Amino acid sequence: MSTDANPPARVVQLGGLMPFLREWLVERYDAPQLADLDEPAEIEVAVVGGGAPAGAAEMDALPGLRAIVNFGVGYDNVDVTEAARRGIVVSNTPDVLTDAVADVAIFLAVDLLRGLTAADRFVRSGAWGRGERFPLTRDVRGAVVGVLGLGRIGTATAERAEAFGAEVHYHSRSPKDVAWTYHDSPAALAAASDVLVVLTPGGEGTERLVDTAVLDALGPDGYLVNVARGSVVDEEALVDALESDRIAGAGLDVFSDEPHVPEALLGRDDVVLLPHVGSATTQTREAMGRVVLDNVDAFLERGELVTPVAPS
């Protein structure tokens, strides 16, 4: 039983959080992890990240829950609709990771066109030393980079593509007030693109949005980059398209069953594989952590969130 000198915790950790953020939460709020919680009815705020679930089961375990604070810009791990039904508000950490993710997106696009990591493997294998020649690659300048999802990160990626001299096309739910070329479907965008960069949110509305039809529209000279969510791309269709040479290659930072990557992708020189590091810089993750604390502070003090998300 709690005492006035040792009041019950008001914040709980649900999982998927980096060690430094766990330390911050313990120091600032004496926040336990869910498994170590003594008095669940007293919890008002749950902090979750890394794709750990915050669904009906977690909400049932916390009858006094009023807010879920997500460590990440994507929040498809949170059942926002169920939270809204229960009167629970949800926040994420937008903006602070835009540049880091956009950097990775554009460098994957450049890598695929110029074959840079494949060239690195070529040198390390001794092939260059044996007198073999690395094949010619493609210019970035003049290439069409198609951005699927022109939100904050998509816009930042498009700006970086322009800086490399690429031509930008895009698809979003509706046209934006930008000079770039709009296409009314993912397949139409893919057909016009040399590199299709996936930057949509995850969740049911975008599950397998990039399917066989989109990959076939991208074509044998087109590349796919995914730094959004693994669920947005039909992974089996992608493997099949690569193995049958129906697309030229792929750069992937996310997968459908992380950390498991399809075996068929591991040995391919036309595929660049990253371990979900789009926002993984020290500065970005610490900035995300500060947004988490800002949201928790604001909710405990005023009953509101700094960066709320709306149920779809």
Please name each of the domains of the chain with its CATH number: 11-96+282-309 (3.40.50.720), 98-273 (3.40.50.720)
Sheet containing 181-182: order of strands? 181-182, 167-171, 144-148, 195-198, 223-226, 249-252, 271-273
Q: What's the mean per-residue pLDDT of the chain?
A: 95
Is the model's pLDDT at 1 over the cut of 70? no
What is the distance between the alpha carbons of residues 260 and 168, in angstroms, rounded to a whole number? 32
**Looking at the whole model, is its pTM more than 0.75?**
yes
What value does the mean pLDDT take over residues 227-242?
Answer: 97
In the numeric block, the tokens 């996936």 are attached to 198
What value does the mean pLDDT take over residues 73-77?
Answer: 92
What's the sign of the alpha-carbon dihedral 192, 193, 199, 201?
Answer: positive
What value does the mean pLDDT take over residues 122-141?
Answer: 98
> What pLDDT does 5 receive?
54
> What pLDDT does 6 receive?
65
Q: What is the DSSP letter of 230?
A: G
> What pLDDT does 2 receive?
44
Helix (H) or strand (E) holding 248: none
Which residues are annotated as catalytic? 229, 258, 276
Tell me the per-residue pLDDT of 4-45, one tens digit each, with 9 for 90 and over. Answer: 456 789 999 999 999 999 999 999 999 999 999 988 999 999
Q: What is the 3-state secondary structure (H, E, C) of 176-197?
A: CCCCCEECCCHHHHHHHCCEEE
